[in-house]
Amino acid sequence: MSEIEKVECLIIGSGPAGYTAAIYAARADMSPMLYQGMQPGGQLTTTNEVENFPGYPEGVTGPEMMVQLEAQAKRFETDVRFGFITKVDFSGSVHKAWADDGKEIHADTIVISTGATAKYLGLESEQKYLKLGGGVSACAVCDGFFYRGQETVIVGAGDSACEEAHYLSKLCAKVTMLVRRDEFRASKIMAERVKNTENIEILFNTETEEVLGDGQVVTGVRVKNNKTSEVKDIPATGFFVAIGHKPNTDIFKDYINLDDTGYIVYEQPGTSKTNVAGVFVAGDAADKTYRQAVTAAGTGCMAALDAERYLAAKGH
Ligand code: NDP
C-alpha cells in the first residue's frame, strides 16, 4: 500500500509560478509541498540570459535564477520534492495526487503550476544550437534583444509567430518568416500587420532543412520550397521557433476545465480559481498570451493568496 501524506498545500511544478506560490504559501504558514516535475526549474532552465526580470540590473541566467527561487522557497521551509505527479483525483473534498515515487498525497489546496512546453521542429541542428545557447530560441520577447541590428529567421504562421515576428522586426535589421503552407493560420489582423512590415520577408511554402552554424553559433538557415523543391541558404544569427506551445495539463483533464488547446480556464477571471474549489492555477498552464517569468511569478502569488483565503474561509 502506498504511503499517504497530508498537506495543506501541494504545488505541482517548479517554474517561477510554482516557486513564487511556495514562497507565499510557506510564509503564510501553509507548509507547502512542491513537486518539481519533469524539468526542475521549468522552461527558464533552457534560456540563457534573463534581462527582463525586475530586480536583476545586470541580468541573470535562467538556470541561476531558478536555483535562487528554489533556495528562497526552501528558506521558508517549503518541502521541495524531486519527482513528478502522475495522477490526480479532484472528485472529493480532499484533493488527491500520486507521485512517481509511489507517494499518495492528500491536499486541502492545490496550486497547478505545470507550465507549458514550447514545440520545436525536432531537427538535429536546431537542437544542437538550442542546447549550446547559440542562437535558437522559442521566445522572441526573451531573446530578441540579443539580435539587435542583426538578421533573424522565424518559423510559424500562427498568432504567436506573427506577434513575435513583429516584435523582432522592431529590433532586427531583417526578419525572414518561414510559413510551411501558402497561407497564415493567424488571425487576419495579425497576418496583415506582418505583411505590412517592411523588414519582414515572408516565404510561403517554405520549410526548414537545417540550421546552419559554425559549431558554436547560428550563421544561417537552409530552407526548401516544398512546391518547387528549390533549396537556399538565408544568413541569420538567430533562429526563432514559434510553432506553438503545449500546456502540461494532461493529467488534470478529467477534473479541470481546459480550453480547446489544453490551457486551464480560469473559473473567475482576475483570480487563480479553477472550476474545482481549492484547486488554483498559476503560470503558463493557463496563459497563452503573456508567458513571461514575471507574469508567472505574479499569478503564483495570486494562487497562494487565493489558497490561503480558501483555507481561512474553511476555518483553518
Ligand atoms: P498555433 O497552433 O495557432 O499555430 C502554430 C503555427 O505553427 C501554425 O501556423 C502551424 O502551421 C505552424 N507549425 C506547426 N508545426 C510546424 C512545423 N513543424 N513546421 C513549420 N510550421 C509549423 O499556435 P500559436 O502559438 O501561434 O497560438 C496558440 C493559440 O494562442 C491560438 O489560439 C492563438 O490565436 C492564441 N494566441 C493569441 C495571441 C493574441 O491574440 N495576441 C497571441 C499568441 C497566441 P500550419 O498553419 O500549417 O498548421
Q: What domains, with CATH codes, occur in the chain?
A: 4-117+245-313 (3.50.50.60), 120-241 (3.50.50.60)
pTM listed for this prediction: 0.81
Whole-angstrom distance, CA of residue 148 vs CA of residue 83: 39
List all residues 6 or more positions away from 17 whose beta carbon is below 8 Å from its beta carbon: 111, 113, 115, 282, 283, 284, 285, 296, 297, 299, 300, 303
Does ligand 1 have an atom closer than 6 angstroms to the CB of 243? yes
Which of 108, 143, 159, 287 does the annotation list as catalytic?
Answer: 143
Taking a C-beta distance cutoff of 8 angstroms, is the pair 168, 137 a contact?
A: no
Phi, psi dihedral angles at 84 (to 5 degrees): -140, 155
Which set of grid coordinates corresponds to residue 98? 500520486
Residue 50: per-residue pLDDT: 85
Question: Where would I find the beta strands (DSSP E) of 126-258?
Answer: 136-137, 151-155, 174-178, 200-203, 206-213, 218-225, 231-235, 238-241, 245-247
SS3 per-residue string spanning 260-314: CCCCECCCCCCCCECCCCCEEECHHHHCCCCCCHHHHHHHHHHHHHHHHHHHHHC
Nearest atom, ligand 1, residue 159 CA: 26
**Could you give the CA distance from residue 263 to residue 243 in angstroms, rounded to a whole number?**
16
131 CA from centroid of ligand 1 (Å): 23
For ligand 1, atom 48, the nearest C-alpha belongs to 185
CB 239 within 8 A of CB 178: no
CB 183 within 8 A of CB 189: no
Give the model's pLDDT for residue 316. 83
- Alpha-carbon span 271 to 292, nearest angstrom: 18
Does the annotation count 142 as an active-site position?
yes
Active-site option among 9, 79, 89, 139: 139
Distance CA 300, CA 7 (A): 18
Ligand 1 pocket check for 155: Cβ under 6 Å? yes
Would residue 9 show up in a list of annotated catalytic residues for this protein? no
Active site residue 301: no
The one catalytic residue among 9, 108, 142, 172: 142
pLDDT tens digits, the chain, 316 residues: what are they?
A: 567 999 999 999 999 999 999 999 999 999 999 999 999 999 888 777 788 899 999 999 999 999 999 999 999 999 999 999 999 999 998 999 999 999 999 999 999 999 999 999 999 999 999 999 999 999 998 899 999 999 999 999 999 899 999 999 999 999 999 999 999 999 999 999 999 999 999 999 999 999 999 999 999 999 999 999 999 999 999 999 999 999 999 999 999 999 999 999 999 999 999 999 999 999 999 999 899 999 999 999 999 999 999 999 999 8
Atom of ligand 1 nearest to the CA of 122: 18
- The cell for 130 is 538550442
Cα 268 to averaged position of ligand 1 atoms, centre (Å): 26
Largest CA distance in the chain: 69
CA of 263 to the centre of ligand 1 (A): 14
Residue 177 main-chain phi, psi, to 5 deg: -105, 125
Ligand 1, from 119, 123, 160, 245: best to mutate by most atoms within 8 Å of Cβ?
160
Residue nearest to atom 17 of ligand 1 (CA): 121
168 CA to centre of ligand 1 in angstroms:
17
CB of 156 within 6 A of ligand 1: the answer is yes
40 Cβ inside 6 Å of ligand 1: no
